[in-house]
A = this chain, B = another copy of it.
Amino acid sequence: MGALTASEKGTTPVRGLPKQARSRVTRRHLLEAAVSCLAEHGWAGSTVAVVAERAGVSRGAAQHHFPTREALFTAAVEYVAEERSTALRELFQAAPAPRPAVVAALVDLYTGALFRAALQLWVAASNEEQLRPQVTELEARVGRETHRIAVELLGADESVPGVRETVQGLLDMARGLGLANVLTDDTARRDRVVAQWSGILDAALG
């Protein structure tokens, strides 16, 4: 996944919808604008005002939904992470998928706008006390959910000693591959690494 697609950017027109639905759409526009903003400009360049403008929402309306900058950006990363999780589950719902396809899809979670945004938030939280507890908690939650999906889609049996750590290591590798893709397009190298480790993991998981 690269930048957010048009539908992910939340271009649903707001006018003509009933009030509650309008509020939900506005909220979604704000969350998606916040993720793009964070991915492109980093934490220092990401304020509620910038996001409101990007989402085409008044600053007052933005503050009504998210009273603080920290609340907006942690909610944004969580929202997009949930969307991705749902999409990933749906992708493999129809039929059991071969493990290499699952590994590739898991790695893809770490190479787009969501990962860039989460990384910016993560690194900012390491230097900013007021951001740290929320981001630490968010990362733990998203991490647990990703692990659950990985175990399920890989058909891994966690009652076997070591399997849990094998899957965790795969997700750590995926995170490292995501980091290697932040400054340059690392796709060609990543594809080779993923192909090789898919085989190794398939053997390790039995």
Contacts and interface: CB of A to CB of B under 8 A. Distances in A.
A126 B195 CA distance: 27
Contact of A166 (B42, B136, B197): B197
A81 B125 CA distance: 24
A122 interface: yes
A194 to B, nearest CB: 8
A171 interface: yes
A175 interface: yes
Interface in A102-134: 116, 119-120, 122-127, 132
Given A125-B183, A200-B204, 7 more contacts: A44-B127, A120-B123, A162-B196, A162-B199, A168-B189, A168-B193, A173-B176
Interface residues of A, number: 48
When all copies of this chain in the complex are counted, the total is: 2
A158 interface: no
A182 B127 contact: no
A139 to B, nearest CB: 7
A197 B165 contact: yes
B122 A126 contact: no
Interface in A29-63: 40-42, 44-45
Contact of A183 (B42, B132, B200): B132
A179 interface: yes
Nearest to A170: B173
Contacts of A174: 176
Contacts of A143: 180
A135 interface: yes
Contacts of A19: none
